[in-house]
Every structure is written in structure tokens, then in C-alpha cells.
Structure 1
Amino acid sequence: MTLIKSISGIRGTIGGRAGDTLNPLDIVKFTSAYATFIRRSTAAGGRQATNTIVVGRDARISGDMVRNVVCGTLMGMGYNVLDIGLATTPTTELAVRMSQADGGIIITASHNPRHWNALKLLNSEGEFLTKDNGNEVLAIAEKEDFEYADVDRLGHYTEDDSFNRRHIEVVLNLRLVDAEAIRKAHFNVVVDSINSVGGIILPQLLDELGVSYTFLNGKADGDFAHNPEPLEKNLGGIMGELAKGGYDLGIVVDPDVDRLAFIQEDGRMFGEEYTLVSVADYVLSHDAGNTVSNLSSTRALRDVTLKHGGSYYAAAVGEVNVTTKMKEVGAVIGGEGNGGVIYPESHYGRDALVGIALFLSSLAQKGCKVSELRRSFPTYFIAKNRIDLTASTDVDAILLKVKDMFGAEPGVTVTDIDGVKLDFADKWVHLRKSNTEPIIRVYSEAATMEEADALGKKLMQVVYDMQ
């Protein structure tokens, strides 16, 4: 059983002993620390407090239990709770801003399996906390430096299920979403919403866009039909359905609908990495500008950006790192290679609904098949491997040795803002400790999958030899 406390929140498996898993005692402590941080930062920033925290959740089986503990704790801290119910991560982010709340908590473990859950923490802009903010929350939790409200200052509880509708309206009103062209294209799609909140909101979006659809795993009961991470090895069902013919596209989301993958009309993967590349190409064809993705994302975004006359920038892995860099360089589009599209005209958060609407707009305007669109982009292959960690593994020491070992080689560029990335002329490999699992992620990219995987395995062996 596992409990991971990080700057991005608290994440763990359900059940077990306090301190070892995501259980009610630790949920209370961490929620109390977050509420204390919000109160202090609101006062320090001179912002007029609304004394409200938004809470949304995906459809995980443990969601009710976690939500009840979170909401009760927030009320005990003197905060009013605006519970928006079953909602996507981007919906909850938008709800914070729309309601002018002081912050928000998203109850979701994203792509983790069904026995996991987590608390993702938002500021008053509906954006994830910075590293410094996250560390402050962790410090408050460690010291248990919080105080609960007396009986006359307890918070109140309100439910509001209108934000799915309001989220869809935001998407439909985006300047580059060509709803008329999409409706005229009469698309027929298959959607795998992996038994979570995508099965609630995506039918509403597709209805508005005039798209015909068939849903797989559409019941939002949290009993995931397969591993919920939208990778090819987990998507045999929808790929097989597409291969039967008669569909224009397959759409896959993760349980909290911030990641997005497409399947071609022939049943083959469009490529999770190419979700952002394709949407960026469409946006850049209308609005010149810069782009940002994280260090573990494909070089194809750089190539597409340069083609349109913009500049490409890389950020450390993590949504807040990407959005911070996007603001710094004025990026018109950005995101992460795991299928996360961040479009500032909507909000600074990964949003699969925005990605779907922009992708369908591009496809409708071009009048081509999804497979033809994929062939129009530079071709790279990314191998995604992992090294499981033990309690005694000194990750920092290992990464430093890797940096020293390869840094002196001619033609190798080393980036160490997030783990260690080695850039060669025609390939790269990135090693970093995961924020969400006890592993080292080893991502590598090259002109063929065989070459990419060989490069990743080579670095994995280097690590194994060090232990």
C-alpha cells in the first residue's frame, strides 16, 4: 500500500494503516493544511476572501468517502464548500474561477488504477499550486499547524451541478472552435470514457457539436474496465471497434478528462504524443506564436512550431511548470506529451474537451481522414519505460552519476531542471523521478521505436549497474 505526499497533492491507495495509505486521518490532516495555506495566502496577497472552496471529483469507487471527509474538514476549518459533484479536472478548475472561490480540491488519481485516489490542489485562479506553495502545504501538514473553527464559524455546504454545462459553453465559444464546420462534417466517433466522468460530460459536448457517437465503458461507476492510462497497450477494445470500419475517429480520455488520445479511422493509434502536436498545428495556422511542452514530450511540437515561425520552449514535467513557462514566453498553445492540451484562451489547465473541439475543427476544415492528418506531421517514436524504486534507492545520486557519465560526451546536451535529459542529434532520453508513483520514468525518442527503446533500455541498465 502506498501514500505519496508531494507538491502536487496527496495520492495513495485506499485502505490500510494511517500514514501508509490514503485514509481518513491523512485526508483530514492534508485538507486542514491546505485550508490553512489558502487562508494565509489570501490574507497575505490582499485578495478579498470569498471563504469558499470548490470540490469536484471523478467517479472512483472511493470518491464518496474521500469527498465526505474533505468537505467535512473544510467546513470544520470554517470554509464554505461548493460541491460541484462528478466533474472533470478542467471543469473544477473553471468552477473555481467562475465562482470566485479562494481555491479548489479535485478528488482524482487521474490515470492511476481503481484502488488509488488523490487530492489535487488549486489556487484562486483554478490553477495548480506552485512548487513553493506545495512545499508550504506539506510543511503545515507535517507540523499540524492548523486551527479549526468554533461552532459559530463553521462553514456551510452547497451543491451546484451547473458547471458541466458552463464548461461546455466555454468550449463552444472559443474563437477557433468551428462548431459549424464540425456539424457539417457529420462525424461518427467511438469514445472510451473509462467508466468515469467523461461518460457524463462528453455526450453533452458531442451532442452540441452534432457528432454521432458510440460509447465504450461509458457508465460512470468507477469500476474501470481496463487500466485507465490511455496508452496503446490498454486500448485494445476501442482499437478493435474502430478496425471494424464505419467510424471517423476514436476518442480516449483518462478518468478525470485532462488527458486525451485519438485512434485513427483504421483502428491504429494516432499517437498520444501527437494530440498536442495536431492541436498546436491547427492553432498556429491561425495565430502565430510560441509553444511549450515538457521535457518528456516529442520533438514534433518543436518542428511544427518552427514551421509556423514561432519559438518552442521546454519546461519541467508537471502542469504548473508548463503553464508557468507558457506565461513567461507568451505561448499561444502548450501542454504535455501525455495527451494534455493547454489552451490559454480557455484557461491554464489541461483540458480534453478543448482538445477534442479544436481537433475536430481542424479535421473538419481540412476535410481529411485522421490517418492522413497524422502523416502530415514529423514522425518520431517514444518508448516509455520505468524503473521501480526500493526504499533504499538514492535517486538523486543516481541521476547525478548519469549526468556526469554522459555530460562530457561530444554532441550531447544535458538538461537537469527535472531529472536528467540527454539530447543527442537525432534522439533523446529523459530520466526523472515520478511525482505520482514510486518509480523512475525513462522516456526516450528516436526515428524508430526499436532505436528509442534500445536507448531507454541502455540507460536503464546503467541505473541498474549503479544499485
Structure 2
Amino acid sequence: MADSSGLIVSVSGIRGIVGSALTPEVATRFARAFGQHCYPGVVLVGRDSRPSGRMLRHAVIAGLQASGCHVEDIGIVPTPTCGVLVRARGASGAIQITASHNPAPWNGLKLFGADGAVLPADQGRIIERAYYADSDPHVAWDGIGNETELRGMEEEHLQRVLQYLNRDLIRQAEFRVLLDTNGGAGGPLAIALLSELGCDVIPVGTEPDGDFVHPPEPTPAHLVELAPRVAAEQADLGFVLDPDADRLALISSKGVCLSEELTLALAVQSRIEQDAGSSTGPIVINMSTSRVLEDIAHRAGLKLIRTAVGEANVVERIRSESALIGGEGNGGVIDPRIGWVRDPFIGMGLILEHLARHRQSLSDAVLQLPRYTMRKLKVDLPLDRWPAVAEQLVRSFQTVAQIDRTDGVRIAWPDQWLHVRPSNTEPIVRIIAESPTDASVTSLCEATQRIFRDVLE
């Protein structure tokens, strides 16, 4: 939820516009609340490349030290690297200073537990309450935590990813890859990984300087100027990361931006192939992820589990179900062999391995996947009207489709689905629909919008 200043406070952390909603005072107070949770352990502090992160770093470290925690400052690192390092260093937790794919004026604090995963909801609520209460005392002068500065820590993450890839197979393919990290945190690690895999890398915006040449969220609409460069450079494919490097977008050799949904689909397909048919663990995705994953799981004889939207929800089920792999349709691949965070680095490796194994181009690999059309809409709706809309959706479709109310309302037919859920931070409802054809998904969205109008009139 957003408070009166516009600061968005959730169980996984805070985010807001720097200087208005997110100030040094807010960052220090929130870090101190988290420090009380981690006391007396070591807490890692990392950040993405946004210039405001330099200032917020000081505020966060002050808050943690004031709670008695010792701090290891790991500098500019990808968000999944922060998760990997929590476990590798036996830390009690971590704060990653990042606003993920939000625009440059934004920043935030993302919280990790001792297991290297984003805090689960129950622990996150404890931190949230402590932040608002602001009643925990500061430690005395002789209890203030120490600070250690660590750099070059991505190597731990790199080696963990390489361990689970067929490096020789990928190297033999001699891929030419355009890599765009848009001034974000992922450039150095991505270049190191692709170089280890024998790729000829064409770097674009790979210095972690916070200079976002295009909008930070790597969606096709934001990559229209970049995409033709892949074809112009005669690259086999393009990889694009968001500023904190936990999402991966793909561009074909023809300069065509692919749906982020296909990032996870190709990575999952490759992970199944690695086990050569011996996989038994399920695949875990959220309620809004493409049913392409359902078809892939069905073909492999694997169970598919859907969770509420949110990285923490997906991770929780991956762990409890001993899943093979999972993720979200926003380009987020979660491989439990690496860590409990969306990780584009294992995603890049798995996709390259899939292409090398089948000697395919990215375009040809996509043609082998089931084809659906997805539509995403936002509808303004006062939050107090959502219950009436939800009930009408259920009444309208419950006799002809399966209803799931785990997260909003999800309605599924044999070949299409609809997911309608209210935002936690603003008075809107998100509508996501997927169907085999453009005409059928349009019809489904129009039927849903009519229900909204009927309820609100």
C-alpha cells in the first residue's frame, strides 16, 4: 500500500520517488526496523546502479549499524547475486537498494532473509509494523555495528551458474549475442558469463552507471529502437536486462522483440531437456503466466502448479514442492539450483543451451512452442467496489469454467484463461487474458469489461 507521501510499503520492502516519498530519513528508519529483525547478525547491503543509490547506501548502513548489525557492503550487484551471496556468506539477511524496473526517479529497499530469498509475507509484515511503530531503541555507542566493504563478489554467482550448464555444447555454437543492460547492475556479470560460454558479445549500455537510455522495464514497447540493432549487427539473438538484473527479455536475429512470457518457456524447456526425461519435480508459475508453460509441463509429464502473483509466493511453492524450476511471465526465471530469486543469468545460459542442442535460431525455437495471444488491461476501480465485481465475475462464468480465487479471480477454460486482480498499491484492477487467437482474446476482454460496466452503473 502507498502512504500519504506516496511511499509504497509492502511485505517485501519499500519504494518511492527519491526526495519526496523516499528520503534518507525513511531509508534509515526502515533499515533500522529490518536490523532489529536480523540482530545481532551480519547484513549485506547491495544496490543497483541508480545514482540515488549512493546516497541511500549511507542511510541504509546507518540504520543497520544503529540497530547493532554488522554490515557487509557488496556494492553494485544484480539482485539475484545479492540472494546468492546471503547464503554463501552465512549472512542474517540483506537489503538490496533498487526500484527494479521503475523509472529513474524511483528507488527502493528490497529485503532478503537468511535463506537468500525475498522475505515471506509473515516476516515482511513484522518489519512493516516495526517501521510504522518506530519504537525500537538505538543501540548504545559501544554496540554500533561494524562495516566491511567487499567488491568483485559476482564470481560466486558466475561459478554457480556455469556449474549447471553444458559449456562445451554452448561454446561450439559460437553465438554472436547483443547484450543490453541499459546502464544497470547486470552488465559485468552478464559479459563474464557470455564470454565464458564462448559468445561474441556486442555490449550496449553494459557499464553500471545508471544511465537508462530506454525505459527501464524491458518490454517490447520499450525496445523498438534497440531491436533493429540485433539484425544490423548480424547477431544470433539479443538479451536485455532490467536495471537490477532480475528480468530477461529476448530479441530474435530478425530484430523482433519476443514476449517476456517466452523467456520462461524456453528456459523451462531447456531445464527439462537437461534431465533427459528423468525430471519428476513440478513446475511452479504464478496465476498470470502464459499457459504455454502448462503445455510444456503436460508434454513432459510434469505437474504444473500456479500460485498467487509475486516472487515470494512462487519461491515458497518451489521450495515446498521440490520443484524442478519456476518463475513468472515477466521474464523471471527461478532455478532452485542457483537461488531463490529471479535470475536472468541462468536464464540466458539455459536458452543458449537449448538453441545449441537443437541447432536452432531463436525464431525457430519459438515456432516449436504452442501459440497463444495474451492481452493485458488496466481498469480504474475504487477498491471498495472490487468485491462486487469479483462476485459478478464468478456468477457469470462458474457454470462454464474453473474458478480459482487464490489471487483475485482466475477463470480457466480448456484452451484459454482470464485473471482479474486488484492492485495492492493503486485504485485499479488488472485484467490479463490469454486465448489461441486475437479474436477470441478480444472477445474475452470485452465480456469482462461489460461485467465491470454493469456492476459500476
Q: Quickly name the TM-score band, shorter chain normalised.
A: over 0.9
Instruction: Please give the secondary structure, in 2, of the residue aligned with 1:139.
Output: helix
Instruction: Please give the secondary structure, in 2, of the residue aligned with 1:330.
Output: coil
Q: Where do 1:417-456 residues align within 5 Å? A: 417-435=406-424, 439-456=428-445
Instruction: Note if 1:4 corresponds to 2:5.
Output: no
For residues 449 and 38 of structure 1, the distance between their equivalents in structure 2, rounded to whole angstroms, comes to 50
Instruction: Note if 1:346 corresponds to 2:350.
Output: no
Q: One-letter code of the match for 1:231?
A: T
Alpha-carbon deviations, 1:388-429, whole Å to 9, x = none?
56xx54264255334444353x22211111111121333212
Structure 2 residue runs without a partner (length 5+): none
Q: Give the percent of matched residue pairs that are identical in Structure 1 and Structure 2.
A: 35
Instruction: Please give the secondary structure, in 1, of the residue aligned with 2:22.
Output: coil
Return closer, same or farther for 1:140/1:291 CA change in 2, 3 Å cut-off.
same
What is the alpha-carbon root mean square deviation over aligned residues? 1.9
For residues 208 and 340 of structure 1, the distance between their equivalents in structure 2, rounded to whole angstroms, comes to 22
Return closer, same or farther for 1:135/1:367 CA change in 2, 3 Å cut-off.
same
User: Do the aligned residues in 2 keep the contact of 1:58 with 1:107 (CA within 8 Å)?
Assistant: yes
Return closer, same or farther for 1:460/1:119 CA change in 2, 3 Å cut-off.
farther
- Which of 311, 314, 322 matches 1:330? 322
Q: One-letter code of the match for 1:215?
A: P
- Which of 138, 141, 162 matches 1:151? 141
Instruction: Note if 1:240 corresponds to 2:228.
Output: yes
Instruction: Note if 1:96 corresponds to 2:86.
Output: yes
Instruction: Note if 1:127 corresponds to 2:117.
Output: yes
For residues 207 and 297 of structure 1, the distance between their equivalents in structure 2, rounded to whole angstroms, comes to 31
Matched residue, 2:108: 118
Instruction: Please give the secondary structure, in 1, of the residue aligned with 2:272.
Output: helix
CA deviation after TM superposition for structure 1 residue 25, in Å: 2.2
For residues 406 and 340 of structure 2, the distance between their equivalents in structure 1, rounded to whole angstroms, comes to 21
Instruction: Please give the secondary structure, in 2, of the residue aligned with 1:237.
Output: coil
CA deviation after TM superposition for structure 1 residue 103, in Å: 0.4
CA deviation after TM superposition for structure 1 residue 201, in Å: 1.8
Instruction: Please give the secondary structure, in 2, of the residue aligned with 1:387.
Output: strand
Instruction: Note if 1:380 corresponds to 2:358.
Output: no
Q: One-letter code of the match for 1:7?
A: V
Instruction: Please give the secondary structure, in 2, of the residue aligned with 1:270.
Output: coil
Return closer, same or farther for 1:158/1:251 CA change in 2, 3 Å cut-off.
same
Return closer, same or farther for 1:394/1:313 CA change in 2, 3 Å cut-off.
same
Return closer, same or farther for 1:449/1:13 CA change in 2, 3 Å cut-off.
farther
Instruction: Please give the secondary structure, in 2, of the residue aligned with 1:355.
Output: helix
User: Do the aligned residues in 2 keep the contact of 1:291 with 1:310 (CA within 8 Å)?
Assistant: yes
Matched residue, 1:56: 46
Q: One-letter code of the match for 1:182?
A: I
Q: One-letter code of the match for 1:56?
A: G
Return closer, same or farther for 1:457/1:95 CA change in 2, 3 Å cut-off.
farther
For residues 133 and 440 of structure 2, the distance between their equivalents in structure 1, rounded to whole angstroms, comes to 49
For residues 328 and 424 of structure 2, the distance between their equivalents in structure 1, rounded to whole angstroms, comes to 15
User: Do the aligned residues in 2 keep the contact of 1:245 with 1:266 (CA within 8 Å)?
Assistant: no
User: Do the aligned residues in 2 keep the contact of 1:326 with 1:334 (CA within 8 Å)?
Assistant: yes
| TM-score, with length taken from structure 1 | 0.91
CA deviation after TM superposition for structure 1 residue 116, in Å: 1.0
Instruction: Note if 1:253 corresponds to 2:232.
Output: no
- Which of 272, 277, 286 matches 2:274? 286
- Which of 351, 362, 367 matches 1:370? 362
Deviates more, 1:64-73 or 1:448-457: 448-457
CA deviation after TM superposition for structure 1 residue 72, in Å: 1.1
Alpha-carbon deviations, 1:256-298, whole Å to 9, x = none?
1111111111111232101111111111123313101000000
For residues 438 and 48 of structure 2, the distance between their equivalents in structure 1, rounded to whole angstroms, comes to 34
For residues 316 and 450 of structure 2, the distance between their equivalents in structure 1, rounded to whole angstroms, comes to 34
For residues 247 and 235 of structure 2, the distance between their equivalents in structure 1, rounded to whole angstroms, comes to 22
Return closer, same or farther for 1:68/1:283 CA change in 2, 3 Å cut-off.
same
User: Do the aligned residues in 1 keep the contact of 2:389 with 2:451 (CA within 8 Å)?
Assistant: no
User: Do the aligned residues in 2 keep the contact of 1:322 with 1:334 (CA within 8 Å)?
Assistant: yes
For residues 398 and 28 of structure 1, the distance between their equivalents in structure 2, rounded to whole angstroms, comes to 41
- Which of 72, 85, 102 matches 1:82? 72
Alpha-carbon deviations, 1:111-132, whole Å to 9, x = none?
1111111111110011011111
